[in-house]
Amino acid sequence: MPAQWKQLAPSLLLLLCGFVCVHAQESDTEKPSVTLILVGRGPLVVDEVSEASDGFWYKRGNVTTFIDRARVVRVEYPKPPAPETEAAPLEGTGKWKLADATKVQDFFLAKFKKPLPMTAFGQSDLHTRWGWDHRNGMDVGLHPDSVEGRALMEFLRNESIPFLAFRGPVPGVATGPHIHIGNRSPRISGR
């Protein structure tokens, strides 16, 4: 091996080790961590935990270790995000006019091979009774968490079409799950 390579080899090795360490640190931050609460020692944050009859196997980085059950007070797993409430509508923003409805209908027909299940197009008697100006909106009878509902909302977001999605009834606002396409309906003046 030439003398130049002998001098360069340690530097290349150091550079490679630095890259591997940085890569491992980046990968570790992507996973939610699990915490083992230990007797007399406090918390131990780990990447993964699996339970055995006599203890726990835990993984930190590339190292897997066994710990006796008697040394573990409890295992704390990451909490899932809080579920969205039925009453809190999902919302998209953008510009909209009722004349753009065919764009939405055409998308749905092409994607699902059936017509868009509209429950209100423009003002309805119910909207008038509740005091909402719904002349520039349309309602679609899809649950926002259904496959069709999620696809429709993704389309609306991509096209910058405003919408409100309701997962359940909201007194005086929504009779049940649906997607309102258009800006929020203002109150009819005088109500």
What pLDDT, in 10s, does the model give residues 37-55? 999 888 899 988 888 889 9
The pLDDT value given to residue 5: 56
Of 36, 80, 40, 83, residue with least CA distance to 57: 36
The pLDDT value given to residue 170: 87
Residue 188 or 115, more confident: 115
The total of structural domains in the chain comes to: 2
Domain presence at residue 8 = no
- Find the CATH number of the domain harbouring 60: 2.30.30
Torsion of CA 155, 161, 166, 170, to 10 degrees: -170
Domain presence at residue 107 = yes
Domain presence at residue 55 = yes
Q: Which domain holds residue 65?
A: 32-79
Residues 65 and 99 in one domain: no
The pLDDT value given to residue 26: 43
**What order of strands is seen across the sheet that includes strand 55-60?**
48-52, 55-60, 63-68
The pLDDT value given to residue 68: 93
Residues 37 and 118 in one domain: no
Confidence check: pLDDT of 87 > 60: no
Vertex 186: Cα angle to 183 and 191 (nearest 5) = 165
Residues 71 and 95 in one domain: no
Residue 128 or 33, more confident: 128
DSSP state of 139: E
Confidence check: pLDDT of 172 > 80: yes
Residues 49 and 111 in one domain: no
Domain presence at residue 44 = yes
Domain presence at residue 19 = no
Residues 58 and 106 in one domain: no
Residues 142 and 170 in one domain: yes
pTM of the model as a whole: 0.53
Arithmetic mean of pLDDT over the chain: 80
Q: Where are the beta strands (DSSP E) in the chain?
A: 34-38, 42-46, 48-52, 55-60, 63-68, 72-76, 90-92, 118-121, 138-140, 163-166, 178-181
Give yes or no for a contact between 96 and 112, defined as CB atoms under 8 angstroms apart.
no
Give yes or no for a contact between 155 and 165, defined as CB atoms under 8 angstroms apart.
no
The pLDDT value given to residue 12: 55
Give the contacts of 50 (CB within 8 A, at least 6 positions apart).
56, 57, 58
Domain presence at residue 16 = no
